Amino acid sequence: MLSAVGLYGITAYGVQARTREIGVRIALGATSAKVRWLVVREVLVLLVVGVALAVPAAWAASSIVRGLLFDLTPADPLVIGGAILALGGTGILAGYLPSRRASRIDPIHALRIE
């Protein structure tokens, strides 16, 4: 949950900081689906990089936490896969909400902000 809130915060801030750019894209004819994909694609990149770094780190740290786990092996692929799916799903949801907001930006208002 903490990672989803953090990813949502980073994505929402990025969308807010790029309001002018997104407004220009919409003014030039970008569809709402393309704007949503622009934002969600960045979230997917963050998720892939996070998983690529976290899984080997968790695998390496598994020997340290071996004594804290009951009825589980430290490198249980089912648990690791479940964690990846849960974080991926919440990450995509956390990225979708700001992307939906970005696709509704009024180009005139976005260009007048600054």
Report pLDDT digits (tens) over 49-101. 988 998 888 888 877 777 777 776 767 788 788 888 988 888 888 888 888 88
The distance of Cα 39 from the centroid of its chain, to the nearest Å, equals 9
Q: What is the tally of structural domains in the chain?
A: 1
In a domain, 21, yes or no: yes
Ordered alpha helix ranges (H), the chain? 2-17, 19-27, 32-61, 77-103, 107-112
pTM reported for the whole predicted model? 0.75
Q: Which residues contact residue 8 at a Cβ distance below 8 angstroms, ignoring those fewer than 6 apart?
A: 94, 95, 97, 98
Q: Is residue 8 domain-resident? A: yes
Q: How many CB atoms lie within 10 A of CB 25?
A: 19
67 found inside a domain: no
**Structural domain span for residue 23:** 2-62+72-112
